[in-house]
Amino acid sequence: MLPPKQKSVILPSTHLPIGHALGNKELALHIKQATHYLAAIQEAVAEKSFQYSHIMRKAPSKSVRTRSRALISKLNHWIALCCQVYGRARTALVQLGADDKTLRTFRILLKEDVKASTAILDPNIAGSSSLQLSWMSILSQVQR
Please spell the DSSP secondary structure of 82-142, one letter per residue: HHHHHHHHHHHHHHTT--HHHHHHSPPP-GGGG----GGG-TTSTTGGGPPPPHHHHHHHH
**What does the pLDDT read at residue 39?**
92
Tell me what percent of the residues of the chain surpass a pLDDT of 70: 78
Q: Is residue 124 scored above 80 in pLDDT?
A: no
Tens of pLDDT, residue by residue over 11-20, are: 777 777 766 7
Tens of pLDDT, residue by residue over 43-98, are: 998 888 888 877 777 778 888 888 888 888 999 999 999 999 999 999 989 888 88
**What does the pLDDT read at residue 101?**
93
The gap from C-alpha 42 to its chain's centroid, in whole angstroms, comes to 6
pLDDT, averaged across the chain: 80
**What does the pLDDT read at residue 7?**
78
Q: Is residue 144 scored above 50 in pLDDT?
A: no
The pTM of the full predicted model, rounded to 2 decimals, is: 0.75
**What does the pLDDT read at residue 142?**
44
**What does the pLDDT read at residue 141?**
44
